[in-house]
Every structure is written in C-alpha cells, then in structure tokens.
Chain A
Amino acid sequence: MGMTITEKILAKSAKMEKVVPGENIWLDVDVLMTHDVCGPPTIEIWKKEFGEKAKIWDKNKLVIFPDHYIFTENVHANRNVKILRQFASDYQLPNYYDVGTDRYKGVCHIALAEEGYNVPGTVLFGTDSHTCTSGAFGMFSTGVGNTDAAFILGTGKIWEKVPESLKFTFNGKMPEYLTAKDLILQILGDIGTDGATYCAMEFDGEAINSMSMYERMTLTNMAIETGAINGIIATDDVVKEYLTERGITNYEVFKSDADANYLKKFEYDVAKLEPVVAKPHSPDNRDSVKNVEGTKLTKCYIGSCTGGKITDFEFAAKILSGKKVKVPTFIVPGSTTVDKQLDERTIGGISLRDIFINAGCDLAQPSCAACLGGPSDTFGRSSDGDVVISTTNRNFPGRMGSKKSGVYLASPLTVATSAVNGVITDPREFV
C-alpha cells in the first residue's frame, strides 16, 4: 500500500519510513507562525512552563505577523501588539513584521506565502485555524492552540495524529463565472462542517491544476471549515514558478502514490457547478445564488485570508469597473503587497483601486478587520440586523460583529455583482 502526500510529509517530519492513519507521532516543526491574538498568551505559557530556562528552539523558524486587531483604539488589543513588539526586541527576532513600520504585512496566511515561508514538503504550525491555507504549496500546515504553540516554541516538536485522507477531484475547465470559493462552498454543502473532521483534504484535477496560486489558497484555506486537519495540493509548475520568483529553489516535492489509501473520493465536473452561497449561520448552509437572488443587503465585504488576495480583487474589479455600488461595500486588502498591487494592476487602463473608489467602495488598510468582528471600532463590522454578503470564511452567529446580523458567504464575483444591485445577484448577469 502506498502513501498519500500528507502521510509522506508527516513521515519525513517524524523521521519514520511509513506512517499509518490513527497513530500518534511526534513531528519536527519547520515553521511556527503566530499573531497578535494568540501570540501573547503563547509567550505567557512558554515563559511559565519553561521558566528561567525558556529558550526559543530556532529564532529563524518563528514568524510573527500582527494582523487581527490592528487599527483600533481598544487598549487591550493594542497592548497585545506591544507585547509582541517587546518579545521581538528582547529576543532579536528576525521574522517579526511590526505594525507602523515598512515591515508590516497584514493577514498572516497571505503574508506567509508572499514572504516565502511556504515551502513544499515542510511542516508549518500556526496559532490560527486557517493555517491550513499554506497546504496549497504541497506542504503540511495546520492550526493549533496556545499551549501547543508554546510547546513548539520551546522544543520545535509537537504530537499529531496521522489523519485519514479524503480526495476531491475537480475535472474540466473552470467556467469564468466560477471561482475557487464556489468549489469549496460546494464541498461544504455536500459534506458539512464536520464532514472531514480530523481528515486531510487533498485536491486535484484539471480545474485545480489550471488555477493560480492564490485561487488554490482559497480552497486549502477553508479546509478547516469541514473540520479537516489540513488541505493540500501537490506541488506543480505553478507552485515552482511562484517560489522561483521569491528565490526559493531548494525543496522536496511529494506526491500521493497511485495506490495510496483514501477514506473516500469525491469527483466533480466543474462545468456542471454553479455559483453558490453559504446562507446564515453556517458555512455548510449552501444554496445556489439563483435560489437566493433578490435578497436585500445592507453591506458587502471583500477581504480576509480567504477573499482578500489580489486575485479576489481582480475578480471583483472586473464586475465593478465602470459601475456604482448600491450598498456600503468594504474593501480590505489582505496584505500590504496586495494593497500595492491595487495600484499596479489595471483594467482598461484604470487601477483596481480607482475602479473601487469610482464605484463608491470604502477601502481600508490591510488586516483581518471585520472577518471576525473584532473590537467595536473595527472597519466594516456588522451591526444590528445587517444582512451582509462577504468573501470571508465563516458566518456563524455574531462572527462579523452583531449577533442579530446574517452573513452570506460567496465568491468575489458574486459579492461584487450583488453590491452593484444591492440585492444578492448571480454573477452571470455581468460575466
């Protein structure tokens, strides 16, 4: 019996010939990532547990991105950033990306890719559930809590149960009215928010192979929404080219064996899929956009690690070019790099930023912003009985702020089209 890509990477990290789903193994961690919400308590636990002897196992492998509660007056939130700043200064950390400096990056999962921390065949842990995003590079990545992160911080090791693998194959050529977001919402509707609990989600097929790096990251990003431990796509030329541009050429590429064992396999023909939303209040509450067309909106939101990448804004700008939005529409670039690209990339000679401004959108600085509600002064936060359509990842009760609000999750094409009409609208009206 062969092994899946996930099993192979975990075996390498555990220095084992072979691993079997269900067994607990100890892994050597290649990168530990944390941010302003979970970094301070992680540091606290690390200091308490290791005491005087507390030592960072490898400073070069620790990456810290303040990104969650950045542009707020909340004193507690700002204190958390100060704690990170002090920690980075005390230990002379090379990979700290401070707010208010040229080094500031924004949302951790996007920045990990842009800054070259995602390397095929490696193992990355982060104190954020969407750490699974990095799996788009053919690596193992997953989220953990503060205690686990503190343990890694001091030892470079962590235990993990080898997951069973599920395979999702998307055949055919992507129609231009669909994005990766529609595919992952399709899966969520099919298997539910616990449909892949503790499993690896492996994606392949023609539609995946022809996707850009950032679109692939939308798929692996939302693997956690099905309960999966990780999402993964085998390294190919698209990945290699992205890495070469960042000077990364030395890595090991793993692929699943033809006779690898999968708990279950799913196949989709993308030509037969249509634009979908997840209705309030769960990411698996899928419906076709057609079925909810006409739903009145009070806010539209484009941003986050899921839907705030440059490709997401390109999709949205294609729709919004030369049009006006009818409801408040919030644009939050995922990173400072994405923010710059809004000026560099153009459609019909007009920058994406100007397209959004001309359409009447509100633009903010890069951060997680209202994806997870946040402090009361957070940009784009939902209030009262808002009805929001958003490119983000979760629509649990109160997720974007108000417990009374309802959030529809959708692709950037669907969100932008709906913004123009003020009601939920199928993107095929404009695409």
Chain B
Amino acid sequence: MNKIITGKAYVLGDNIDTDQIIPAEHLVYSTSVLEELRNYGKFALSGVPPEKAGLPEGSVPFIIGENYESEYTVIIGGTNFGCGSSREHAPLALKVAGIQAVVAESYARIFYRNSVDGGFVIPFESATKLNDVIKTGDVVEIDYEKNVIKNITDGNEYVLKTLGNVFEIVKSGGLFEFARQSGMLV
C-alpha cells in the first residue's frame, strides 16, 4: 500500500454533513452499474452552498460540467466532518470523484466507520485546524508512515494523528479484507 498521497486539496468548512456531500435525492443510483455509479462522483459535494465550496474564496466547483471525476485528490475539512445520515454513499461519492483522503480535525462516527470499513477514503485527523491555512488548489502530500501532511505549495508541514487500531483495517483495504486476512472469514 502506498504510503504517500499527493494531489490538489479542496478545502471545506466545519460540520460538512452527508446531505452536502451527496444530497438525498441522488441516493437512488445503483452502486454496481458503472454508468450509474459515476453519478455519485458527478454529484459529490453538490449540496455544499456555493459560497462555502472551495475555501477560502468559495464558488470553486468541485466537479466541472458533466464530469464525474474531480481534479482534487484530498479534502481538507474542519470539525465534525460527515455528520448527519448513515449513507455510505457519502464516502463512496468522494471516492468515485477521485478523492483518496480526507483530513479533518474530527469526524462524525458513521462517516468515519464507513470510510474505513468500506475502504473508500482514508479519514485522517489533523492535530490542528487546517482548513484556514491550506487553500483550495494547494498541492499537498500526505505521508502516513510519518503522520504528516505537507503543503507543497507553501512549504508548511502539519502533524496528523495516528490512525490507531483502525490502521489495520485501512491497510487491508476495508472490513471484509481485514476479516479475511485475520482469519475471521474464510
């Protein structure tokens, strides 16, 4: 498994709920039919109010036009990221859009579990507030052996909390792989 994630950051505010990540009207698409699955990418973050989309300026589209993949690789959030509903479509939508990791100060429980157990995106917790120091479009590099995120654009480096004992599930790629590798499932 790759220990480094590099790419452009898309910055959001605090309390990004699952209705903003993927509005409920879009929860009807099949997750196994590829053309339909792409809709989750297309509508990812479409519920974020424009002025709060892509901080600090806002009004930065996450997905351009009819695309389903975003030019961004890492989401930078604040506190309580992923609050609200239990929809696993939320981390799925981010993954389909091309997001590999979210870095936030804190997470709502179900979003965190879904991200890890479904193997969609890696939910890193930052030790300090980052959504006011990293800007949308900055290139960042996450090294999760060293537990740091570096802003390549301005050279600053920030500490990430360790993933603790969910690291084993992250490393396996999800709950089912973890259970198979640890002999729980045959």
Scan residues 24-68 of chain B and give those whose CB is less than 8 A from a CB of chain A.
24-25, 27-32, 36, 47-49
| Docked complex Cα distance between A77 and B106 (Å) | 33
Residue A56 at the chain B interface, CB threshold 8 Å? no
Q: Which residues of B contact A398 (CB under 8 A)?
A: 19-20, 23, 47
Residue in contact with B114 in the complex, picked from A48, A74, A147, A397, CB distance below 8 Å? A147
Does the CB pair A194–B79 fall under 8 Å? yes
| Docked complex Cα distance between A44 and B37 (Å) | 13
| Proximity bits, B80-101, A CB within 8 Å = 1, else 0 | 1001111111000000000000
Q: Which residues of B contact A69 (CB under 8 A)?
A: 28
CB distance from B13 to the nearest CB of A (A): 11
Residue B69 at the chain A interface, CB threshold 8 Å? no
| Docked complex Cα distance between A372 and B47 (Å) | 13
Residue A151 at the chain B interface, CB threshold 8 Å? yes
CB distance from B61 to the nearest CB of A (A): 15
Does the CB pair A38–B86 fall under 8 Å? yes
Residue A144 at the chain B interface, CB threshold 8 Å? yes
Residue B175 at the chain A interface, CB threshold 8 Å? yes
CB distance from B127 to the nearest CB of A (A): 17
Could you tell me how many residues of chain A have their Cβ less than 8 Å away from some Cβ of chain B?
47
Residue A24 at the chain B interface, CB threshold 8 Å? yes
| Docked complex Cα distance between A375 and B83 (Å) | 22
Does the CB pair B20–A38 fall under 8 Å? no
Q: Which residues of A contact B175 (CB under 8 A)?
A: 147-148, 151, 159
Scan residues 302-354 of chain A and give those whose CB is less than 8 A from a CB of chain B.
none
CB distance from B122 to the nearest CB of A (A): 15
Residue B179 at the chain A interface, CB threshold 8 Å? yes
Closest to A229 in B: B109
| Docked complex Cα distance between A403 and B25 (Å) | 12
| Docked complex Cα distance between A193 and B108 (Å) | 9
CB distance from A301 to the nearest CB of B (A): 15
Residue in contact with B88 in the complex, picked from A24, A76, A147, A375, CB distance below 8 Å? A147
Does the CB pair B19–A397 fall under 8 Å? yes
Scan residues 133-175 of chain B and give those whose CB is less than 8 A from a CB of chain A.
165, 174-175
Residue A198 at the chain B interface, CB threshold 8 Å? yes
Does the CB pair B85–A372 fall under 8 Å? yes
Residue A133 at the chain B interface, CB threshold 8 Å? no
Does the CB pair B179–A151 fall under 8 Å? yes
Could you tell me how many residues of chain B have their Cβ less than 8 Å away from some Cβ of chain A?
43
| Proximity bits, A48-59, B CB within 8 Å = 1, else 0 | 110000000000
CB distance from A365 to the nearest CB of B (A): 19
Does the CB pair A128–B29 fall under 8 Å? no
Residue A138 at the chain B interface, CB threshold 8 Å? no
Q: Do A145 and B80 form a contact, CB below 8 Å, given A37-B87, A151-B179, A376-B25?
A: no
Closest to A281 in B: B49
Q: Do A148 and B113 form a contact, CB below 8 Å, given A41-B88, A194-B106, A227-B80?
A: yes
Q: Which residues of A contact B27 (CB under 8 A)?
A: 37
Residue A282 at the chain B interface, CB threshold 8 Å? yes
Does the CB pair B31–A44 fall under 8 Å? yes
Does the CB pair A145–B15 fall under 8 Å? no
Does the CB pair B179–A38 fall under 8 Å? no
Does the CB pair A373–B25 fall under 8 Å? yes
Q: Which residues of A contact B174 (CB under 8 A)?
A: 147
Closest to A44 in B: B32
Residue A165 at the chain B interface, CB threshold 8 Å? no
Does the CB pair B88–A397 fall under 8 Å? no
Does the CB pair B88–A146 fall under 8 Å? yes
| Docked complex Cα distance between A198 and B30 (Å) | 30
| Docked complex Cα distance between A147 and B172 (Å) | 14
Of A44, A376, A394, the most chain B CB neighbours within 10 A belong to A394
CB distance from B111 to the nearest CB of A (A): 8
17 A-B residue pairs with CB within 8 Å: A44-B32, A49-B176, A76-B29, A79-B28, A127-B86, A129-B84, A129-B110, A144-B114, A147-B88, A150-B176, A151-B175, A193-B15, A194-B106, A227-B108, A372-B24, A396-B84, A397-B20
Residues on A lying within 8 angstroms of B by beta carbon are 24, 37-38, 40-41, 44, 48-49, 69, 74, 76-77, 79-80, 126-129, 131, 143-148, 150-151, 155, 159, 193-194, 197-198, 227, 229, 282, 372-376, 394, 396-399, 403
Among all A-B residue pairs, the 9 with the closest Cβ atoms? A145-B88, A76-B28, A145-B114, A194-B80, A143-B86, A147-B118, A129-B86, A146-B88, A372-B24
Beyond contacts A77-B28, A373-B24, A397-B19: 16 other A-B pairs, Cβ-Cβ < 8 A, are A38-B88, A129-B85, A143-B86, A147-B114, A147-B175, A150-B176, A159-B175, A194-B106, A197-B108, A229-B109, A373-B19, A373-B23, A376-B25, A396-B47, A398-B47, A399-B19
